[in-house]
């Protein structure tokens, strides 16, 4: 019983963005995706069983980056990129052994730690490539390879009474959570082939509940706990499992699973998504981050893999439900945590290099390489480039990381979510300058040209070009932060409200939509939080947070942040010391009046001066531009200490 999405991305839609989105797409292609040498190195991890010596995760790199390449290609349609993608897919097909396995682990060491996780990404990379592949002969070979890969898994993994290894026992990390995320490509393979054995295998994985210490799907369905209260709390892997359950629901139509996915998403949004649109203030874990985001933690936090996975999850939920809340979440992540992680300077600092060399166990020095995406983001005062997430050194003494590989997918998703189709119309979800070219319900070409300074400016104009007149509806997303919105169509006022405002009419070429969103700046305060936060350490053992790791909640309450439209603002040491306490002047509704300024002398999207009670002013810039020297000279924060 296949289900139908409320919204969908029409594969015929084309994107021609301007501004920061175009720059980020170009950046991902140039600095990562167009390198045949990098792709060949990642395929090499499978030809030489490179994960055997430390049972690591090098095998994830190829598929994770291929998924991102497919998303970017859907935006740019760059023939050079497609050529590189096709060459590496052909190369990967040669990495299969005589049993059809494509694994970075040998048969002697298979089905432990990150083996299943890496196999998952090989399958996903191939599947997302196939969404744009029109070569039928190559498609057939890729599908045959995936069949062989999964048939081997089915022969080895399953119920113990059948003499097989349980899916949750194929990794000692995270109690099987990482391995269980293979659910998504298994369901997708069923969709490609229609073979019942793949759906049966997916059903088995769902029945195991993703960990050997608790069924997280059942916890989500019962809706009795937040994800940070689950027995295992690894954020990225857990969201990946729920992505798989979403795909499983779409095939089976079992409402229980839809309920579980939506419950989980709403719980994550409420309990763990921070002011910059990502999660995890302790390592890479769900840990009640919404309430703990001003607590001090000296280690890594706010992982880019979590950011991009949350963005993709929100996109899929928006398709499934049509709930505009998920577009709001996507936008917050995009303009803050995600674009802030784009390493526009391609720098690497001494601290990161030293860390790489410490990690290389045989004592040889790794060859420094600037990575295109940063791994972690600071909330309180910190620097970018603190460490490289998922770092692994390869046989040629170069290295890469998990967040670097997932980065391209984030910007590629913008093309999928910006304009979505629905029954008899469209939904406009993002307001980036440029052109979106698609097809009307009657099959005619439609171009929407957006002129705007968004996300800095709230004024947006969209001009339609189409062949003849046609009746359909356009849903315009009004963000939850826009308290007062004006909307005109061809100069005539239309009532607008938060959520989707639907305009249904007979459209003709030259029609113009003018929208002005409320960019009033708002002061944000911390959320009080209990002290006894249960968390899971990196080995997957339950423990209570050691008191030396975090400040008392009452100390953490003395911070403040500013949100303006979709942007979280930040202090950058080049203009304002993020460690210096401030005393902002704002009204009883937490509204603060900002003045545009232009004094910083370095690249940034926007700059504002905020008034203090003593008459002085504090300079803020957009979060994505802060910290971009990757060293102490641009120490930055979005949560700033207040005078007591």
Reported as a single tens digit per residue, the pLDDT across 379-392 is 999 999 888 889 99
The whole-number pLDDT of residue 94 equals: 97
Give yes or no: residues 123 and 167 share one domain: no
Q: Does 69 map to a domain?
A: yes
pLDDT score recorded for residue 299: 85
213-226 pLDDT tens trace: 999 999 999 998 99
306 found inside a domain:
no
In a domain, 539, yes or no: no
Tens digits of per-residue pLDDT, 245-259?
A: 999 999 999 999 999
Q: In terms of domains, do 243 and 151 share one?
A: no
Domains in the chain: how many in total? 4
Q: What confidence score (pLDDT) does residue 539 get?
A: 40
DSSP β-ladder status, 486-489 and 445-452: unpaired
Q: Give me the helix-helix angle, 304-321 and 235-252, nearest 10°.
A: 20
Q: Do 464 and 443 reside in the same domain of the chain? A: yes
**Mean pLDDT confidence for 4-32:** 95
- pTM of the full predicted structure? 0.95
Last residue of a domain, one of 416, 448, 467: 416
Looking at the chain, the whole-number percentage of residues with pLDDT higher than 70 is 92
pLDDT digits (tens, 9 = 90+) for 565-577: 999 999 999 999 9
Domain that holds residue 384: 34-156+342-416
Residues 214 and 250 in one domain: yes
* Dihedral, CA of residue 75, residue 78, residue 81 and residue 82, to nearest 10: 90
- Give pLDDT tens digits for 54-73: 999 999 999 999 999 999 99
The answer to whether residues 407 and 427 belong to one domain is: no
49 and 144 part of one domain: yes
Q: Are residues 408 and 438 in the same domain?
A: no
The pLDDT, as a whole number, for residue 2 is 75
Q: 136-156 and 196-208 helices cross at what angle (nearest 10)?
A: 50
> What does the pLDDT read at residue 396?
82
Write down which residue in 258, 290, 322 finishes a domain.
Answer: 290
237 and 120 in a single domain? The answer is no
Helices (H), ranges, 294-431: 304-321, 325-333, 339-341, 350-359, 402-417
For the segment 214-239, the average pLDDT, to the nearest whole number, is 94
Lowest mean pLDDT among 206-210, 266-270, 433-437, 600-604: 600-604
pLDDT, position 547: 33
Residue 70 lies in a domain: yes
Check residue 594 and give its pLDDT.
97
Are 43 and 62 within 8 A, CB to CB? Answer: yes
For residues 124-129, average pLDDT = 98
Helix (H/G/I), strand (E/B), else coil: 229: helix
Residue 537 domain flag: no
Statement to judge: residues 143 and 38 lie in one domain: yes
Tell me the average pLDDT of the chain. 92
Rounded to a whole number of angstroms, the CA Rg of the chain reads: 24
Whether residue 437 is contained in a domain is answered as yes
Residues 54 and 174 in one domain: no
Taking only the tens place, the pLDDT of each residue in 301-345 is 999 999 999 999 999 999 999 999 999 999 999 999 999 999 987
- What is the average per-residue pLDDT within 175-188? 96
Q: SS3 letters for 95-118?
A: CCCCCCCCCCCCHHHCCCCCHHHH
Do the domain assignments include residue 457? yes
The answer on 278 and 176 residing in a single domain is: yes
Task: Tell which of 516, 543, 571 closes a domain.
Answer: 516
Same domain membership, residue 269 and residue 182: yes
pLDDT attached to residue 19: 95
The CATH number of the domain holding residue 430 is 2.60.40
Q: Is residue 26 part of a domain?
A: no
Mind listing the pLDDT tens digit for each residue in 87-105?
999 999 999 999 999 999 9
The whole-number average pLDDT for the span 478-494 is: 97
Q: Residue 261: pLDDT band by 50, 70, 90 thresholds? A: very high
């Amino acid at each position: 019983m296949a289900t139908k999405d409320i919204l969908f991305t029409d594969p015929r839609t084309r994107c021609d963005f301007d501004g920061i989105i175009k720059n980020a797409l170009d950046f991902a292609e140039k600095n990562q995706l167009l390198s045949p040498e990098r792709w060949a190195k990642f395929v090499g991890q499978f030809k030489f069983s490179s994960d055997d010596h430390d049972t690591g995760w090098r095998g994830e790199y190829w598929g994770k980056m291929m998924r991102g390449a497919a998303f970017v290609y859907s935006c740019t349609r760059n023939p050079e990129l497609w050529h590189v993608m096709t060459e590496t897919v052909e190369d990967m097909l040669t990495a299969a052994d005589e049993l059809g396995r494509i694994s970075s682990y040998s048969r002697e060491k298979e089905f432990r730690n990150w083996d299943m996780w890496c196999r998952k990404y090989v399958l996903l990379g191939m599947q997302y490539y196939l969404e744009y592949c029109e070569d039928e002969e190559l498609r057939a070979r890729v599908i045959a390879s995936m069949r062989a890969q999964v048939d081997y898994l089915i022969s080895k993994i399953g119920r113990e009474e059948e003499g097989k290894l349980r899916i949750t026992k194929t990794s000692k990390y995270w109690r099987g959570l990482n391995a269980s995320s293979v659910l998504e490509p298994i369901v997708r393979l069923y969709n490609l082939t229609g073979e019942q054995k793949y759906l049966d295998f997916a059903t088995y994985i769902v029945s195991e509940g993703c960990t050997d210490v608790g069924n997280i799907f059942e916890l989500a369905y019962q809706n009795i706990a937040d994800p940070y209260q689950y027995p295992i709390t690894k954020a990225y892997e857990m969201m990946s499992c729920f992505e798989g359950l979403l795909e499983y629901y779409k095939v089976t139509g079992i409402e229980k699973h839809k309920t579980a996915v939506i419950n989980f998403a709403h719980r994550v949004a409420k309990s763990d998504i921070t002011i910059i649109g990502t999660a995890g203030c302790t390592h890479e874990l769900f840990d009640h981050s919404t309430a703990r985001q001003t607590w001090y933690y000296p280690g890594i936090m706010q992982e880019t893999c979590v950011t991009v996975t949350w963005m993709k999850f929100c996109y899929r939920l928006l398709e499934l439900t049509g709930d505009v809340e998920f577009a709001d979440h996507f936008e917050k992540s995009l303009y803050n945590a995600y674009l802030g992680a784009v390493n526009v300077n391609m720098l690497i600092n001494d601290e990161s290099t030293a860390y790489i060399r410490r990690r290389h166990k045989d004592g040889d020095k790794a060859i420094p390489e600037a990575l295109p995406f940063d791994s972690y983001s600071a909330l309180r005062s910190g620097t970018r480039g603190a460490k490289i997430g998922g770092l692994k050194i390869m046989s040629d003494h170069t290295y890469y990381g998990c967040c670097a590989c997932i980065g391209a997918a984030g910007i590629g998703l913008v093309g999928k979510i910006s304009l979505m189709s629905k029954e008899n119309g469209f939904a406009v979800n993002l307001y980036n300058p440029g052109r979106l070219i698609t097809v009307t319900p009657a099959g005619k070409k439609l171009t929407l040209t957006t002129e705007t300074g968004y996300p800095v400016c709230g004024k947006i104009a969209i001009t339609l070009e189409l062949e003849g007149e046609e009746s359909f509806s356009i849903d315009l997303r009004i963000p939850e932060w826009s308290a007062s919105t004006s909307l005109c169509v061809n100069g005539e006022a239309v009532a607008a409200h938060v959520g989707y405002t639907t305009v249904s009419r007979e459209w003709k070429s030259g029609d113009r939509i003018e929208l002005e969103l409320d960019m009033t700046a708002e002061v944000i305060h911390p959320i009080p939080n209990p002290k006894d936060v249960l968390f899971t350490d990196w080995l997957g053992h339950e423990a209570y947070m050691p008191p030396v790791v975090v400040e008392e909640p009452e100390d953490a309450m003395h911070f403040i942040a500013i949100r303006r439209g979709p942007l979280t603002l930040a202090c950058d040491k080049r203009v304002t010391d993020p460690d210096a306490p401030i005393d902002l002047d704002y009204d009883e509704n937490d509204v603060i009046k900002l003045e545009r300024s232009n004094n910083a002398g370095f690249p940034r999207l926007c700059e504002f001066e905020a008034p203090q009670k003593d008459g002085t002013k504090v300079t803020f810039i957009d979060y994505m531009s802060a910290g971009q020297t990757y060293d102490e000279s641009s120490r930055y924060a979005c949560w700033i200490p207040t005078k007591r």
